[in-house]
Amino acid sequence: MAEFALIDRLRQRAGSRPDVALGIGDDAALIEPPKGQQVVLAVDTLVEGVHFAKGVPASAIGWKALAVNLSDLAAMGAEPAVALLALTLPTDDTAFVDEFATGFSALADTHRVALVGGDTTRGPLAASVTVMGYVPKGKALTRAGAEAGDDLWVTGTLGDAAGALALWKSGIPMLRTGVLRERLDRPAPRLGAGLALRGLATACIDVSDGFLADLGHILAMSGVGADVEADALPLSPALLDAFPDTTARRALQLSGGDDYELCFTAPAKKREAVQAALDAVATPATRVGRITEGASLRLFDADGLPLALPPRRGYVHFIEGGA
Ligand code: ADP
Ligand code: MG
């Protein structure tokens, strides 16, 4: 493969930052982290046929490969800085790489993220991105700090990306799914909200596998339970328009993945402060329940009647193989 020509195309759109002492072109990149900051690292891989379908535009793959990683930094309350890109391509396809770079750099430039290195190999199509960011020492948001009595919040709306995927799987052309498809292909990581929640949220996670599954991680790591009002989950008009009410509210919103919203907890006495902080970064947020003592996750409808938890709460790799 004309690997160097491909790398050069990526390098041209890599961006630069003062904390990058050495970027693409040497054996490794050199970064100078600002004083007093902790380095935050995350990696996520998108594989064709697993995380995106064959035929998804390369620009959307480029965008999403970075977006899912920036979402992890958002959930930590971190500010992103640089990324590494490991790209596996079936062929030496410069048009694909250019289009991929268009999507990747559109999001990278928005958040001042520089591409500082990577790896380019031949094989089944996959993009693995590593991101690095900063958070002031001790200020990171983790999954572990939720306490009984805390409010449970969610940003944006839930279920839209899963709705787009369900429409596509049922044979409805993606073009007709408009807003929902945008949510699946080009998720917007909630970086501003993550920063705004420093010092306010007691625990935080990004919703990638499904709301109940990801909330479950906060509960397990914090050693608490939660009472959730299912009918309070933020629902987009587009999702309600495309699906029967029960499908939207009882399946897609609860268990659908790929939302990349933030699910977080905060003390009830910080309610106004949370609302004001998120208003200031134009991020809608909804209170959907509260944290309880014990370890149980309980769902209720709008009348306060208990609902059964769905059997499968999110996406799990390797479940069929039992690995
Ligand atoms: P090495 O053999 O030393 O690992 P490579 O030939 O793989 O170096 O890469 C050369 C340079 O190009 C390195 O700086 C590497 O980080 C960068 N690079 C390779 N592939 C990519 C990519 N997909 N995106 C960004 N940078 C890349
Ligand atoms: Mg080397």
pLDDT tens readout for residues 228-281: 999 999 999 999 999 999 999 999 999 999 999 999 999 999 999 999 999 999
Position 86 in a domain: yes
Position 103 in a domain: yes
Weakest-pLDDT range from 115-119, 129-133, 309-313: 309-313
In sequence order, the β-bridge partners of residue 205 are 263
Task: Tell me the average pLDDT across 314-318.
Answer: 58
Residue nearest to atom 13 of ligand 1 (CA): 25
Residue 314: per-residue pLDDT: 63
Judgement on whether residues 57 and 114 belong to the same structural domain of the protein: yes
Position 322 in a domain: no
What does the mean pLDDT of the chain come to? 94
Instruction: Place 174 in a pLDDT band, splitting at 50, 70 and 90.
Output: low
Judgement on whether residues 56 and 84 belong to the same structural domain of the protein: yes
Residue nearest to atom 22 of ligand 1 (CA): 118
Number of domains in the chain: 2
Ligand 1 centroid–CA 17 distance in Å is 18
Judgement on whether residues 303 and 156 belong to the same structural domain of the protein: yes
Residue 310 clears pLDDT 50, i.e. is over it: yes
Position 318 in a domain: no
Q: What pLDDT digit, counting tens, does each position of 8-34 carry?
A: 999 999 999 999 999 999 999 999 999
Instruction: Place 321 in a pLDDT band, splitting at 50, 70 and 90.
Output: very low
Residue 177 clears pLDDT 70, i.e. is over it: no
Task: Tell me the average pLDDT across 142-156.
Answer: 98
Judgement on whether residues 120 and 173 belong to the same structural domain of the protein: no
Final residue of a structural domain among 105, 136, 167: 136
Q: Which ligand 1 atom is nearest residue 25's CA? A: 14
Q: Which domain holds residue 156?
A: 151-307
Q: Which ligand 1 atom is nearest residue 86's CA? A: 23
Instruction: Place 320 in a pLDDT band, splitting at 50, 70 and 90.
Output: very low
Kindly give, in sequence order, each residue whose CB lies less than 8 Å from that of residue 178, ignoring residues fewer than 6 positions away. 238
Residue 323 clears pLDDT 90, i.e. is over it: no
Task: Tell me the average pLDDT across 169-182.
Answer: 79
The pairs formed by 164-171 with CB atoms below 8 angstroms and a separation of 24 or more are 165/256, 165/258, 166/243, 166/252, 166/256, 167/242, 168/53
Ligand 2 centroid–CA 26 distance in Å is 7
CATH number for 270: 3.90.650.10
Judgement on whether residues 123 and 217 belong to the same structural domain of the protein: no
Ligand 1 pocket test: pick from 9, 24, 130 the residue with the most ligand atoms within 8 Å of its Cβ: 24
Position 288 in a domain: yes
Kindly give, in sequence order, each residue whose CB lies less than 8 Å from that of residue 87, ignoring residues fewer than 6 positions away. 6, 10, 97, 100, 118, 119, 120, 121, 126, 127, 128
Residue 172: per-residue pLDDT: 76
Ligand 2 centroid–CA 91 distance in Å is 22
Residue 134 clears pLDDT 50, i.e. is over it: yes
Judgement on whether residues 52 and 196 belong to the same structural domain of the protein: no
CATH number for 61: 3.30.1330.10
Residue 176: per-residue pLDDT: 62
For residue 271, count other CB atoms closer than 10 A to its CB. 14
